[in-house]
A and B are shown apart, each in its own frame.
Chain A
């Protein structure tokens, strides 16, 4: 009886396996950040794409370790991911390491509805040959409206003003962005920030400025930390990604306001791992062609307050799909919010990241 059962199941498995293989052929493993961000991609890209093509999409929330994991997969000779969502700096490093496919943006991506080629539509946002831009997000400050009285902060240097705004603030536990803000508030002209930061004295100067508030800083390493600290009233202000603050303000209705001054723009987008089989690569490219067209990028902005990377998508940004509020004023790229902005300096940080990070960590440990 037992033997018979075993034989039947084995036979069944043998019959089923080619079917399974056929199913596999229609699968796409997409790696992203998880949380509200992945949800916005699910609704704007994955669901319509699956419906259209019949492809099953498997989500993997590993973007935070994407570079290290892709490197390990590549060394093991078994890349299991098809499309990966990474920040632009990581896309650049993956491209440097030969771990990401080089993209011909004009032939592999859809043109705008008016016929503008993709490379022009994305413009300067194509910061690496392997990078397919998706959204513009920014790192900005949120503050507790009930803790700042009648004088809400409107200048980045208010972060360094312990007298006007006593209490703790939260900053990211890495030099990037913090060093720029510190120099800006130490009287360095915006245009000169990076030439000052190149020098050892400039780095010491930035750390000295950060040192004036060091005792009042809680250092975060996960994007969810600042929203939580704000909601708990642990801090009076803190930096994080603008989409996180949007959700604290509009979805959770916490008494939090936005300080957009000197927000730092950064890009997030897709890469396709190098070394995929021709068939898998073709499937990944088919998905990318669909998910980065003008309409889809505009659709994503219905679910999260990140700006679409295509110029042609911007006029199509409408209302939030569930809350019904206008999304444009919450976009980092809105003219009212973007009066004074930085763009993450990819070249500079690719060179100086290791050096300045060592100094920054040593300074933190003092």
Chain B
């Protein structure tokens, strides 16, 4: 011992200190392991995490105003709207300089679209002004205030300048406020007028209808899964095909089939009228409302509930129930006290799957939901593809993500995530 301390640290065969040599060997091993998963890691990072983060960042990103009108934003910052007077000539001169650059780069209409989300009319204000400003150049001389007022009377409205001033910050809470039925005004955050409030309502509706769908799925799936798990293998396999069959059919076909079934001149109503349960003029309304959405989505999501339940129930030994019965339990007690608690992890796994899938669903509600059965995801789709208000869509998506994570956390606290099993 004293010998080694005298001659320095322990050396490996090649003369390097053993500690360093070991560290290097481990590092090589770790690098090799990392290299093995690197393709997957890079793939997930590039195709999944980065786009999601990028999309979420849009919910607060508001560079476009300050980038398109840099001088104007600076000049108008000192202006006080409460005086009731328009900004002075320096602001308009800055606007002229900014607009000449923006029109050349065709950025002014983009800005108009952005500001039109906040105040109606700004889209055409920027488009129409742009057409005239195209003819201007650096030689054009002031005073610009009169020229702008001649161009479009929108420039003479205090609200227009207030909007530009309020929304000139590079990072804005505006989209998140819009997402919860509020708006960013010069006086701070305020509620939207009542006749424009809809999103909070849709969030609640999405959550409670998803819970509803999860519940009906549990009720329908439990007996099916029980039957599958307790039948002889050969019969169970045949029934399993029936459960999986919907997976092999297009989602749109299944949803449209429900339309044919549920509509007022549809199969179910025809049968009810034919056997005389319902009068011809009193046909049931079962589609284009919440009933339609719940029925169609329960059907579509049912396999996601049956499969985890089935795989958990398969692992429950039948001897336990037999033992309970031999000790004097009734059929019900044996099921409820012995079998059911063991099947709970399957219910948990199925519920999480169905709930999270249904909270983000949009095609089926769009087709069968009418006006009362649509979800928040339908609004997100609208803002992505129709109104192009991606900032608002991102804010709505971010809130939905947080809500789902929050519910997941609650689930973990109440039921415990260890209690979830997929098989």
Q: Does A363 lie within 8 Å of B195, measured CB to CB? A: yes
Q: Does B110 lie within 8 Å of A68, measured CB to CB? A: no
Q: Does A362 lie within 8 Å of B120, measured CB to CB? A: no
- Residue of B109, B116, B122 near A97 (CB, 8 A) is B109
In the bound complex, CA of A204 to CA of B106 (Å): 36
Is the CB of A107 closer than 8 A to any CB of chain B? no
The verdict on A96 contacting B107 (CB below 8 Å), with A71-B388, A363-B195 known, is no
Is the CB of B288 closer than 8 A to any CB of chain A? yes
Q: Does A354 lie within 8 Å of B195, measured CB to CB? A: no
The 0/1 profile, CB within 8 Å of A marked 1, for residues 370-389 of chain B is 11100000010000111111
In the complex, how many angstroms separate the beta carbon of B135 from the nearest chain A beta carbon? 15
CB proximity to A under 8 Å, residues B103-118: 106-107, 109-110, 112-113, 116-117
Is the CB of A359 closer than 8 A to any CB of chain B? yes
Overall SS of chain B's interface = loop
Q: Which of B196-204, B218-226, B308-316, B327-335 is near enough to bind chain A? A: B196-204
In the bound complex, CA of A22 to CA of B263 (Å): 53
CB proximity to A under 8 Å, residues B370-413: 370-372, 379, 384-389
In the complex, how many angstroms separate the beta carbon of B112 from the nearest chain A beta carbon? 7
- Residue of B110, B120, B288, B385 near A352 (CB, 8 A) is B120
The 0/1 profile, CB within 8 Å of B marked 1, for residues 338-354 of chain A is 00000000010011111
Is the CB of B291 closer than 8 A to any CB of chain A? no
Overall SS of chain A's interface = helix
Contacts of B263 in A (CB 8 A): 232, 234
Q: Does B109 lie within 8 Å of A95, measured CB to CB? A: yes
Contacts of B112 in A (CB 8 A): 96
CB proximity to B under 8 Å, residues A187-212: 204
The verdict on A234 contacting B120 (CB below 8 Å), with A68-B384, A362-B197, A365-B371 known, is no
Closest to B181 in A: A362
Q: Does A351 lie within 8 Å of B116, measured CB to CB? A: yes
The verdict on A351 contacting B198 (CB below 8 Å), with A67-B385, A234-B263, A357-B387 known, is no
In the complex, how many angstroms separate the beta carbon of B384 from the nearest chain A beta carbon? 6
In the bound complex, CA of A98 to CA of B108 (Å): 10
Q: Does B385 lie within 8 Å of A354, measured CB to CB? A: no
Contacts of B201 in A (CB 8 A): 365
Q: Does B110 lie within 8 Å of A354, measured CB to CB? A: no
In the complex, how many angstroms separate the beta carbon of B371 from the nearest chain A beta carbon? 4
In the bound complex, CA of A204 to CA of B193 (Å): 13
Closest to A75 in B: B54
* Max chain B Cβ within 10 angstroms of own Cβ: one of A71, A233, A351: A351
Is the CB of B163 closer than 8 A to any CB of chain A? no
Contacts of B195 in A (CB 8 A): 204, 359, 362-363
Is the CB of A314 closer than 8 A to any CB of chain B? no
Is the CB of B143 closer than 8 A to any CB of chain A? no
Contacts of A65 in B (CB 8 A): 385
Is the CB of A290 closer than 8 A to any CB of chain B? no
- Residue of A67, A218, A233, A347 near B388 (CB, 8 A) is A67
The verdict on A68 contacting B385 (CB below 8 Å), with A96-B123, A96-B127 known, is yes
Is the CB of B264 closer than 8 A to any CB of chain A? yes
Q: Does A93 lie within 8 Å of B113, measured CB to CB? A: yes
CB proximity to A under 8 Å, residues B254-299: 263-266, 288
Contacts of A173 in B (CB 8 A): 371
In the complex, how many angstroms separate the beta carbon of A182 from the nearest chain B beta carbon? 16
Contacts of A363 in B (CB 8 A): 195
Is the CB of B124 closer than 8 A to any CB of chain A? yes
In the bound complex, CA of A68 to CA of B264 (Å): 36
The verdict on A219 contacting B196 (CB below 8 Å), with A93-B388, A232-B263 known, is no
In the complex, how many angstroms separate the beta carbon of A215 from the nearest chain B beta carbon? 10
Is the CB of A124 closer than 8 A to any CB of chain B? no
Is the CB of A150 closer than 8 A to any CB of chain B? no
The 0/1 profile, CB within 8 Å of A marked 1, for residues 120-136 of chain B is 11111001000000000
Closest to B197 in A: A362
In the complex, how many angstroms separate the beta carbon of A70 from the nearest chain B beta carbon? 10
Contacts of A234 in B (CB 8 A): 263-265
In the bound complex, CA of A10 to CA of B323 (Å): 66
In the complex, how many angstroms separate the beta carbon of A238 from the nearest chain B beta carbon? 13
In the bound complex, CA of A168 to CA of B196 (Å): 27
Contacts of A17 in B (CB 8 A): none
CB proximity to A under 8 Å, residues B131-163: none
In the bound complex, CA of A103 to CA of B221 (Å): 59
Contacts of A8 in B (CB 8 A): none
- Residue of A68, A221, A351, A365 near B123 (CB, 8 A) is A351
Q: Does B388 lie within 8 Å of A365, measured CB to CB? A: no
Is the CB of B98 closer than 8 A to any CB of chain A? no
In the complex, how many angstroms separate the beta carbon of B327 from the nearest chain A beta carbon? 56
Contacts of B370 in A (CB 8 A): 218-219
Contacts of A351 in B (CB 8 A): 116, 120-124
Q: Does B198 lie within 8 Å of A354, measured CB to CB? A: no
In the complex, how many angstroms separate the beta carbon of B143 from the nearest chain A beta carbon? 28
Contacts of A316 in B (CB 8 A): none
In the bound complex, CA of A239 to CA of B120 (Å): 28
Closest to B128 in A: A347
Complex A-B: 12 CB contacts under 8 Å? A68-B388, A93-B113, A97-B110, A98-B109, A204-B195, A221-B366, A232-B266, A233-B265, A354-B387, A354-B389, A362-B198, A365-B371
Give the 4 A-B CB pairs with smallest separation, nearest first: A96-B109, A362-B198, A68-B385, A355-B120
